[in-house]
Amino acid sequence: MAPKQEWMVILPDAPNMLPKRMEVRPDHLNNLKPQVESGHWVFGGASLDAPIKEGEPPKINGSVMLAVADTKEEVMKSVKNDVYFQSGVWDESK
């Protein structure tokens, strides 16, 4: 069997979704825990339009994640099961 591959996943946010992102963030993080513990997701975080400035909200434009999986389909299944995808935070068209 071939070794699992690393998959860099870039997930742009849909326009004006920062409030929804913040609303569902606790669920996003809690639901990721088992996948992080299993080694499926090994890195992840928000991507930004600009550096964070004190006193200003972050200019989040999406997420960047690194998965370890056998296939692209396995990674996409995880993405589509995420609350950010299901609630429309991540822009499905991109």
Query: Tell me, what CATH number does 9's domain have?
Result: 3.30.70.1060
Q: pTM for this structure?
A: 0.90
- 54 within a domain of the structure (yes/no): no
Name the domain count of the chain. 1
- 21 within a domain of the structure (yes/no): yes
Instruction: List pLDDT tens digits, range 44-82.
Output: 999 999 999 999 988 999 999 999 999 999 999 999 999
Query: Alpha-carbon torsion 57, 62, 64, 65, what sign?
Result: positive
> What's the CA gap between 57 and 51, in Å, rounded?
10
pLDDT at 7: 98
